[in-house]
Amino acid sequence: MLKTLVPDLDALNILDERLRFLSAWTIHHANHVRDSSDGLKVGGHQASCASMSALMTALYFHALGPNDRVAVKPHGGPLLHAIHYLLGSQSIEQLQNFRGFGGMQSYPSRTKDAIPVDFSTGSVGLGVAITAFASLVQDYLTAHGKMADDERGRFVALIGDAELDEGNIYEALIESYKHDIRNCWWIVDYNRQSLDATSADRMFERFDEIFASCGWRTVELRYGKRLGAALATYPALKSWLDELPNADFAALSFQGGAAWRARITADLGKTGAAFLEAHDDDALGSLMTDLGGHCMASLVEAFDAAKDDVPTLFIAWTVKGFGLPFAGHKDNHSGLMNPTQAHAMRDSMGISPGDEWQPLAGVGANALPAVQALLDRSRIQRAKRDRSFGKIAIPAIAAPSGAEQATQAAFGKIMLDLSRAGGDLADRIVTTSPDVTVSTNLGAWVNQRGLFKRREMKDVFAGAKIASAQKWSATTQGQHIELGIAESNLFLMLGALGLSGDLFDERLIPIGTLYDPFIARGLDSLNYACYQDARFLLVATPSGITLGPEGGAHQSINPPLIALGQPGLRHYEPAFADELAIMMEEAFRLIDTPDGESTYLRLSTRSIAQPQRADDRWKAAALAGGYWLREPGPGAEAAIVAMGAVMPEALAAFDELSADLPGLGLLAITSPDLLHRGWSAAQAVRWQGKRTPSHVENLLARLAPGAGLVTLCDAAPASLSWLGGVLGQRVAPLGVDCFGQTGNLADLYAAYRLDGDAITKSIAELLLTPF
Ligand SMILES: Cc1ncc(C[n+]2csc(CCOP(=O)(O)OP(=O)(O)O)c2C)c(N)n1
Ligand SMILES: [Mg+2]
């Protein structure tokens, strides 16, 4: 544990003011100084920054250690950049280009910002929750000997109070309690204002209870030292202020000292008189807003007192827009100072016009050495880290043998083989699943590698010698993290595991499994993980109406379309086990490659006959998104284009039709996502005179220009129907475009037109329709 530094409160207060100004000025510059070519409002959140400047000063210039990592609430981004500017790790050009093309981002971004950002934020709630999962990853790495105990850091989330309404925070809180997480600080900027207005009072009474019941220490910083001392002298005033509704407090903060005086007089009469007489209006306005979150001494004291590893919730009371002309106004969320107000703020801080960007402008000569010393000794000065890639040897992955196989079962077998083979790759794999470990075929892997828990857990059933296929004991050496049924947590867990190379310089190979339809349940967390460029393999199974008797509530329809529109995630949908094997190998490679990405495998429980391969030539094409499973004849007039579990229907129809339609081809699609990306990328460079056709164009160019394509997938038909647009060929799209139902496969495929009959009729119709 780091030893506590002696705080220089005066210097910290100066930095607080300086940061509040710099963040406000950065936003002001973007809106009122920089040329606007399009006349659009640039925006920014001066009030959200102002309420948190003291908090961030106390953290970054006093409390944080070199291994601590922080998720800054999205609208506090300009403060983070201002901190790095003072530290010399951010340029003036970036600040001046706030929200401009290539400039510092509106909200902290790991991948886009020039400064080191530990966690991206933007979609509120997610930055908070990922810190808990990152602390779990840290415990995992130390338990596995991949990180020294004394390298452990703390994970800090700076949270807006309205952000606490996001349910994903409580899902994460529950999961982190189960996993006994530690080294986490969540600090609420409790300014009691959201975007729309002041926030409700009642709920706040409950938050500390919720956290305390999950084992968290809660620390409330309500009043600053000055106000606290005054209230101790005037207990009636304290009772009154304790009960004052949020909206009233905010309105009075906005109105200032005279309004406070009038209200205290009206409510407390003679009881408040002595207190009021002791202060003029200005002093009164300043005293009444001396809340804990603005009081450096209180903040430093509270952080110093929480140096153990107990997870801690700090509730720091603040005024939104503190120190700005619209402090406390309920509409101040996107409020911007006008130039007169911004200049007045500058002048009040002793900064000369033109010196606004001078890092320590306005700091008096006497104070300067101490402030400079504080900056110099800051323990968070660090360069943007190199990302750790390319250190894992990825062996070739063999396809499981078997004449008939389902891709889901093949996945389980590959995982078992990997585990038995051992080696670096297997040791770096961490699996995780939201209570569907066994039903997604991860059971054999878990039997081999065990569950991970910081505190060991015995398998009671095994101990009692009750027969079970599944071993369920947990140790610190286990490699599977079992989660409760909360898919958002799965994606946050994968996000944190997938950033282990970046955060801890030790890359892990995270594999998460869930049922395909429930991707939608955690979609924003999935997007969040991808946005940060976390690397993982997502295995979604079972999928589609091929799931049969489980019915419409479990049959996924649109995930291939989700994947088609999701950057950072590559969709592969294998029909056969040998396709799956090369896709897993590729997915592992993509996890450990700088320009790689995450992979989503959509699998099925349907056992189907496996193909005999003449050679390996199909492999490269399959990894690129598709290959001819049955080659078309020259200038063929028609082709069947199929993906995944419905391949037997496509093959049967091909066998039946090819006698009458010589030259008919069967195209196996393994990734509509990759094909589409390649196609649009080729289009995008065509205007530069580069005419390299994409993989999908090459595949389809084997057919006649006006050929008919019958596309077939157990998913929304739009997943493949776009293929007709590539070369202007005609398409009959077969797929599922309404909710599924229970039934056996023959009945369901007939009802949803995924069978041979539908293929035959569609081809006939295409060929009979004149082009
Ligand atoms: C998931 C999500 N929904 C909505 C928004 C839009 N939004 C941004 S900030 C905000 C209010 C935040 O209030 P609070 O958390 O109290 O932060 P403050 O600015 O008051 O510090 C909203 C609704 C968002 N960024 N993310
Ligand atoms: Mg707020």
Are 764 and 748 spatial neighbours (Cβ–Cβ below 8 Å)? no
Amino acid at site 41: K
Say if ligand 1 is within 6 A of residue 195 CB.
yes
Task: Please report the atom of ligand 1 found closest to the CA of residue 159.
Answer: 15
Name the residue of 56, 195, 329, 492 whose CB sits within 8 Å of the most ligand 1 atoms, as the mutation to test its pocket. Answer: 195
Q: What is the mean pLDDT of residues 747-760?
A: 96
Q: How far is the CA of 161 from the centre of ligand 2 (A)?
A: 5
Separation of alpha carbons 698 and 691, rounded Å: 12
Task: Please report the atom of ligand 1 found closest to the CA of residue 192.
Answer: 16
Say if ligand 1 is within 6 A of residue 191 CB.
yes
Say if ligand 1 is within 6 A of residue 320 CB.
yes
Element (DSSP H or E) covering residue 304: helix 296-304
Give residue 1's pLDDT: 45
Give residue 379's pLDDT: 63
pLDDT, tens digit, for every residue of 661-695?
A: 989 999 999 999 999 999 999 998 888 888 889 99
Name the residue of 120, 169, 194, 294 whose CB sits within 8 Å of the most ligand 1 atoms, as the mutation to test its pocket. Answer: 194
Name the residue of 20, 56, 75 whose CB sits within 8 Å of the most ligand 1 atoms, as the mutation to test its pocket. Answer: 75
**pLDDT above 80: residue 205:** no
Say if ligand 1 is within 6 A of residue 253 CB.
no
Say if ligand 1 is within 6 A of residue 124 CB.
yes
Q: How far is the CA of 265 from the centre of ligand 2 (A)?
A: 29
Q: How far is the CA of 200 from the centre of ligand 1 (A)?
A: 15
Looking at all shown ligands, the one closest to residue 162's CA atom is 1
Say if ligand 1 is within 6 A of residue 105 CB.
no
Give residue 119's pLDDT: 98
Say if ligand 1 is within 6 A of residue 492 CB.
no
**pLDDT above 80: residue 382:** no
Confidence of residue 749 (pLDDT cuts 50, 70, 90): very high
Say if ligand 1 is within 6 A of residue 289 CB.
no
Say if ligand 1 is within 6 A of residue 673 CB.
no
pLDDT, tens digit, for every residue of 276-312?
A: 999 999 999 999 999 999 999 999 999 999 999 999 9
Sorted by sequence, the CB contacts under 8 Å of residue 667 that are 6+ apart come out as: 626, 627, 628, 629, 639, 640, 641, 642, 699
**pLDDT above 80: residue 178:** yes
Sorted by sequence, the CB contacts under 8 Å of residue 317 that are 6+ apart come out as: 190, 191, 192, 220, 221, 222, 223, 291, 292, 293
Q: What is the mean pLDDT of residues 352-371?
A: 96
DSSP line for 167-224? HHHHHHHHHHHHTT--SEEEEEEE-SB-SSSBPPSTTHHHHHHHHHHTT-EEEEE-B-
Say if ligand 1 is within 6 A of residue 161 CB.
yes
List Cα–Cα distances, 464 to 106, 203, 450, 470, 707, in angstroms.
57, 46, 18, 14, 65
* Among candidate residues 741, 709, 734, 737, the one with its CA nearest the CA of residue 723: 709
Q: What is the mean pLDDT of residues 116-121?
A: 97
Are 191 and 320 spatial neighbours (Cβ–Cβ below 8 Å)? yes
Give residue 204's pLDDT: 75
Confidence of residue 36 (pLDDT cuts 50, 70, 90): confident
Confidence of residue 4 (pLDDT cuts 50, 70, 90): low
Q: How far is the CA of 302 from the centre of ligand 2 (A)?
A: 21
Confidence of residue 201 (pLDDT cuts 50, 70, 90): low
Q: What is the mean pLDDT of residues 237-246?
A: 95
Q: How far is the CA of 260 from the centre of ligand 1 (A)?
A: 29
Are 414 and 401 spatial neighbours (Cβ–Cβ below 8 Å)? no
